[in-house]
Amino acid sequence: MLGYFCQMDGVSSYIYIIAACLLVVFSYVYNLISQKTGIPSVLLLLSSGIGLREILIYNNATVSIPSYSVEVFGILGLIMIVLEAGLDLQVSRKKIKLIRNAFLSALFILAFSSFACSALLYYTLQEDYLHCLIYAIPLSVVSSAIVIPSISHLEENKKEFLVYETSFSDIIGIIVFNYIIAGNFLQASNLAIFFGSVVLALLLSVVLSLLILLMLTKIKTKIRFFLVFAVLIFLYAGGKMLNLPALFIILLFGLVVSNWQLSIFHRFYKWMNFTEVNDVGKLLHGLTAESSFLIRTFFFFIFGLTIDVRLLLDLDVVLTGSALVIILFIIRFIYLRFFLHAHIFPELFFMPRGLITVLLFYSIPEVYKLSKFNEGILFFVVLTTSIIMMIGSISYGRPELQAINDEIPITENSDIWNSLAEPLLDDTGKEKI
């Protein structure tokens, strides 16, 4: 695979296969290092990609990475990570406040950060404000792809808040970004179409989630789960082409599977009972964890290969990038401290930019491109915010190495699934008290 990106004549294809396998091994080792030290495994993958790029350049090798390759890995990673997040989230009455706070936090921090960052870009670059806003939105999205694998050592309430917040940040950021680049977003007709598409996506998500789950429970062959992944990817791509917020389908499917014990689903127990769905959830969670780990490994390594360290040494890049990071940090502090009135450590530091930021940047239409924007700013913000998260994680402290965490598949002995008790129903299908 690496041979596709790095043109080196006379090298056997088996070398590239070995290199790809070694990368997976190193990524797993990075996860273990991350558990012990608090250094995000993603940061280690980026550093490995940057290091390999410099070695290749030093040896006069040509490094050529098609932008669509990063985009493809990014889309696949996004789908897996959002699905994994949905499978991790347990909905209950006692968590309504937590979910509400996480949603509002993601919404307002994204909004305030986008406008503040776009104002900075407008002031420094002196280009069209709308174009600056389109660049600012990706920079304002907190990366669930980096946060979720890095919070296994946190307290349960902190962990749940960050999982919800980053998942909402991803989804809201993508929806708003796609809506704005569609053009004429301030027109009343377009606003009506937008909110209509959101409602339609929610309805479709519920229906499709139930159909996919029914398919999973009724198919008894061993080969079924990657069929479902293929269907989910197809639905996501189709939804994107129809300008629908397709991530709702992925997230809702995960939420339906992980919350099948809720009374709202009891009427479907005659077709899919609790035990069947719970077993599907266990297996599906393990497969998504493995798949997201693999995709995340190659995405961030390949992204590291695209980073030109020399761009990071440019004074304008350092100044603009630092100003953007300070803005993002201050806005996050103000909202968490004065609006949410919550304990902000270490949540304040968990603000990395990553997969979604990169993916949206590659999706900016040519008509909205900023001629004066230096790509090094993107690299600087991604690396700096990851380092900030690392500082917060290390300062918070690390527990002893555990056998099971967000990076390792959930097994039948994991608390997340064994804590789900089959609800007791009466003859009418209502839950017994």
Question: To which H or E segment does residue 387 belong?
Answer: helix 375-396
With a cut of 70, say whether residue 254 has pLDDT above it: yes
Helix (H, G, I), strand (E, B) or coil at 13: helix
d(CA 243, CA 182): 9
DSSP annotation of 303? H
Whose CA is closest to 113, among 144, 146, 145, 135? Answer: 135
* 101 touches 120 (CB < 8 A): no
DSSP annotation of 63? E
Looking at residue 109, its pLDDT comes to 94
Cβ-based burial of 206 (10 A; exposed 0-12, middle 13-18, buried ≥19): middle
Average pLDDT over residues 297-323: 87
d(CA 425, CA 170): 37
Model confidence over 391-412: pLDDT tens digits? Answer: 888 887 654 433 333 333 334 4
Phi, psi of 63 (to 5 degrees): -100, 110
Whose CA is closest to 89, among 163, 176, 32, 186? Answer: 163
Give CA separation, 373 vs 121, 122, 185, 304, in Å: 9, 11, 23, 20
Residues with Cβ < 8 Å from 415, sequence gap 6 or more? none
Of residues 227 and 371, more confidently modeled = 371
Model confidence over 367-395: pLDDT tens digits? Answer: 888 888 888 899 899 989 989 988 888 88
- pTM comes to 0.78
With a cut of 70, say whether residue 318 has pLDDT above it: yes
Residue located via tokens 């273990």: 32
Whose CA is closest to 162, among 34, 336, 381? Answer: 336
Confidence of residue 424 (pLDDT cuts 50, 70, 90): low
Model confidence over 156-215: pLDDT tens digits? Answer: 788 888 888 888 888 888 888 877 887 666 666 667 777 777 777 778 778 877 888 888
Confidence of residue 63 (pLDDT cuts 50, 70, 90): low
Average pLDDT over residues 50-60: 84
Phi, psi of 80 (to 5 degrees): -65, -40
With a cut of 80, say whether residue 81 has pLDDT above it: no
Most confident of 85-99, 342-356, 407-421: 342-356
With a cut of 60, say whether residue 44 has pLDDT above it: yes
Q: Is the dihedral of CA 321, 322, 324, 325 positive or negative?
A: positive
Q: Which domains does the chain have, with CATH numbers?
A: 2-418 (1.20.1530.20)
DSSP annotation of 221? S
d(CA 44, CA 28): 11
Phi, psi of 83 (to 5 degrees): -65, -45
- DSSP string for 223-255: --HHHHHHHHHHHHHHHHHTT--THHHHHHHHH
Looking at residue 195, its pLDDT comes to 73
d(CA 107, CA 117): 15
Residue located via tokens 């960050």: 162
Q: HSE of 377 in the Cβ direction (CA atoms, 13 Å)?
A: 23
Model confidence over 100-113: pLDDT tens digits? Answer: 888 899 999 999 99
Residue 253: CB atoms within 10 A of its CB come to 28
Q: Is 243 left (phi over 0), alpha (psi -120 to 50) or beta?
A: left
With a cut of 80, say whether residue 68 has pLDDT above it: no
With a cut of 90, say whether residue 91 has pLDDT above it: no
Model confidence over 234-249: pLDDT tens digits? Answer: 877 777 776 666 777 7
Question: To which H or E segment does residue 161 belong?
Answer: helix 156-181
| Centroid of chain to Cα 219 | 30
